[in-house]
Amino acid sequence: MITEEAVQRARQNLSAGNPVESVRLLVSVAEQAHLVDRDYDDAMYLLAQALSQANLLRAAATVLLYLGRAEDMIRVAAGTQPTDLARAYLCGPRPQPREAAKHYRTAGWPAHSAIAYERAEDFASARAMWEEVMADGRLRKDPYVAALVSFNLGRVLKRLGEDTQAHRCRVRAMRLLEEAADVLETRGLRDRAFDCFQVLLTLGIETGSFENLAEGYVNCVRILREDHLKHYALQYYEDFIKKAEAAGEHHASATMLHEAANYARAVGLNFHGTLRVREAQAWEKAGASILSSGGAGELAENAYLAAIGAYSNAGMHGSAVATFRTLSTIGLEEARTKRYARLAERYSDARNEGGASVRLPDYLQQPVKYPDIWNDDVIEWEASGDPIETCGEILLDTALPSFIRRRALVARLWPLTHSAPQHPTALATLAEKLGQIQVYQTLSPLEQLYEHTAPTVRASVLRASQMLFFKRTFVMINRGVMDPDTAVRANARDAVARLHFPHAFDPLSRLHRDSVDPEIRRAALGSIGKVQTIEAIEYLIGVLSHGTNDDRRMAYDLLSRSDFPDTGRALASAIERETGEMQRVLQQIRAARGDR
């Protein structure tokens, strides 16, 4: 009823020639992201009319962008920023990407223009735009974005049939990606290095370069393992294995299956035997492939022997003996041939153990979907952390849930309707509204806002970060914990205490190990205790053994209260390997938990 009353009063004020009061009333309605679509959209169309009458044209265009009313937005945006007019041509049921590209070019955004031209399948114009981006001097200091631009230009050149130049661009992209990954990992930004390797593996997929494909996957898996994200790591293992098998790269497939099986066993997953059997089968295929291509028998012998080892580890003794029989037939020197035949005969009664194979979980059966980082991150770079433009990009994405787009609408309207949008108080409010959107794209404008000299703005940025469950969020938090302002540090500590999700384990553990502030260390350890991974539990067990007295007491309490299903198993394993006082403490925790 309050909403209906606000809308009714807004209509009355608009009829009475008071659009400013109508805007005030309807912006409060816009903040009610829970409203049903029809009520919300009707109120927002009225808000667009009020904003137009108040001559707040960018704000009016923003509302029309949310509503997807392309024709109305084109009319209103004609007198505003060319980026708004470009989005007007992209929204609605019949987008016009060629027209959008022209206005992005007018705005000085050649990368956005290139992407729009690609969407329009005007690859010649897209090429010109990517070449313009390539000439941007800022790329000399940013090898990651330079790599993405070179990658995109190479894709367009390929579409134009200019294979030689496309190859040059891709080689340059590969070199820059490797350089950027090294720099980013050195700076502790492993999540951004991970993005480099994702683009590298995509480069391998598109060009058919197995070397690039393998390098990308191997490094993605390495980073995921280092970040203790076991399920994601195994997904990438499985995805690479399937691609290696499809490419006939049986040796690579077997090697990765060996690693995956070892890893699955190390982290306590019961399907490692299934991976081991597949490893053995891949080694057999590798041996057969070597022989069929005229390769040396000794190389094939090594592959078959690796298969025997894998079968034996999986309890598949009958299959191992059958492989000995195969070895006796591949034309090796007489002594080895006879030896393998004797082994096959001696153990001919060996049988495969029952229950050696456990079905792989469903999440490993799903193909990994790789985001269009090569476009997304260039778009972010070109927008330069502008909150208005970032929210415009979010509003343009109709695949996002309506509540996210509604929060982006509110955040974008704030500076477009405020009388003093650059005042620290207004910027502090903007930061909190950006945080409420809760999507990755808002990190860039928040990082820009954190550069503000006013502590109130930086403190607000860190309050907003408490709602952003991304590893990159810790880039701001790590700066916040060392901020000279007390209130900013307090908000950073609160963010550390509230961000506990699997990807957060690595930055949280770093904060706990490295921070000199006891409150930050305590907050980090408390969040680790709420992370639902075996790695977090094992970290707490390690703190029990090596931490300070305060840390040990806290770890004891966190382990006693942990509701993570694998906590009991981790404690039992630790009890088996520990002795003395540490073993007694762990037994006390198990007793307090009621574990058996």
**356 pLDDT more than 70:** no
What pLDDT, on a 0 to 100 scale, did the predictor assign at position 190? 85
What pLDDT, on a 0 to 100 scale, did the predictor assign at position 422? 97
Residue 212 or 454, more confident: 454
State the pLDDT confidence band at 2, using cuts at 50, 70 and 90: confident
- pLDDT tens-digit map of 103-127: 999 999 999 999 999 999 999 999 9
Nearest by Cα to 88 from 290, 288, 79, 387: 79
**589 pLDDT more than 90:** yes
Do 36 and 18 lie in a common domain?
yes
Residue 466 or 271, more confident: 466
Q: Mean of the pLDDT values across residues 84-96? A: 95
How many structural domains is the chain composed of?
4
103 found inside a domain: no
Q: What angle do CA 423, 425, 428 make, to 5 degrees?
A: 110
**409 pLDDT more than 90:** yes
Do 76 and 223 lie in a common domain?
no
Per the listing, tokens 């690595």 go with 506
The CATH number assigned to the domain holding 530 equals 1.25.10.10
Average pLDDT of the chain?
Answer: 93
33 found inside a domain: yes
Do 485 and 426 lie in a common domain?
yes
Amino acid at 334: E
Q: What is the pTM of this model?
A: 0.86
What pLDDT, on a 0 to 100 scale, did the predictor assign at position 268? 77
Range of the domain at 77: 2-91
Q: How many CA atoms lie within 13 A of 596 on its CB side?
A: 0
101 found inside a domain: no
Nearest by Cα to 54 from 21, 78, 6, 11: 21
Lowest-pLDDT range, 85-89, 375-379, 438-442, 591-595? Answer: 591-595
What pLDDT, on a 0 to 100 scale, did the predictor assign at position 354? 63
Cβ distance 443 to 469 under 8 Å? Answer: no
- pLDDT tens-digit map of 482-507: 999 999 999 999 999 999 998 899 89
Do 208 and 348 lie in a common domain?
no
Lowest-pLDDT range, 33-37, 184-188, 516-520? Answer: 184-188
Q: What is the CA radius of gyration of the chain?
A: 30
The CATH number assigned to the domain holding 223 equals 1.25.40
- The Cα–Cα gap between 52 and 74 comes to 13
Do 376 and 388 lie in a common domain?
no
Please count the residues of the chain: 596
Do 349 and 363 lie in a common domain?
no
97 found inside a domain: no
State the pLDDT confidence band at 205, using cuts at 50, 70 and 90: confident
**244 pLDDT more than 80:** yes
- pLDDT tens-digit map of 304-326: 999 999 999 989 999 999 999 99
- The Cα–Cα gap between 460 and 124 comes to 45
What pLDDT, on a 0 to 100 scale, did the predictor assign at position 355? 53
- pLDDT tens-digit map of 164-189: 999 999 999 999 999 999 999 888 88
Q: Mean of the pLDDT values across residues 139-165? A: 95
